[in-house]
Amino acid sequence: MTLVVENRVAEGAISYADGLAWQRERVAARQANIIPDTLLLLTHTSTVTYGKSANPANRLLTAEEYAARGIELIPTDRGGDVTYHGAGQLVGYPIIALGEGNRDLHRYIRGLEEIVIRACDLLGASGAGRADFHAGVWHGDGYLAAVGVRVSRWVTHHGFALNVTKEVRENFATIVPCGVAGKRIATVSELAGRPVTVAEAASAVETVARAHFTRTE
């Protein structure tokens, strides 16, 4: 089956609530086999999200302080702790049906990490890889991409958030990203040694994701 990619980066940042609604619509359609596997690529307005098992201490501001900074604070149904979405970041939401023989969530998450790592390679952002202390994509102690997923009736949603430009760093300082203290925020532009746009990163992710998820049934 060929992957369908909905690249909405050029439409500008959307709210987290709108992104979640888009996901849920497509999850229901994928469960009913109305649509093929789909990847949503987009950017979000400033939002801090936290998963079901998140530690409240990893949110460093009060709700009022987040609001004053224009950051939405939203609980979500994905796994993982707390993370930030905003300008300078590419978000990818794969809506993938995990069929018989592919229902290994650990392998699926490793696959998402691999997509991001290979996309970084295409962009000239060398050195991206995994860490032995936490999921996601890292450059040494630099957090480059968060990964958090949910599976419903063996259809995935949520996904990854890739830090592309330095714009994303400021509001990451309001949280302990994914509950891992003492780590810096890395960006694709930093690793590439040149300005990389979110649109350029989306194009690279699309290329790699099509190859990764396309399969014959």
* H or E stretch at 152: strand 142-152
Q: Residue 149 forms beta bridges with which residues?
A: 158
DSSP H stretches of helix in 128-181:
169-172
**Residues that are catalytic:** 178
For residue 86, how far is the Cα from the chain centroid? 11
Nearest-10 crossing angle of helices 198-213, 105-122 = 130
Number of continuous H segments (helices) and E segments (strands) in the chain: 6, 10
Q: Which of 98, 121, 120 is nearest to 109 (CA)?
A: 98
Say if residues 79 and 151 touch (Cβ distance below 8 Å): no
Cα-based distances in Å from 33 to 16, 20, 37, 77, 149: 25, 20, 9, 23, 20
Q: What angle do CA 73, 86, 119 make, to 5 degrees?
A: 130
For residue 62, how far is the Cα from the chain centroid? 24
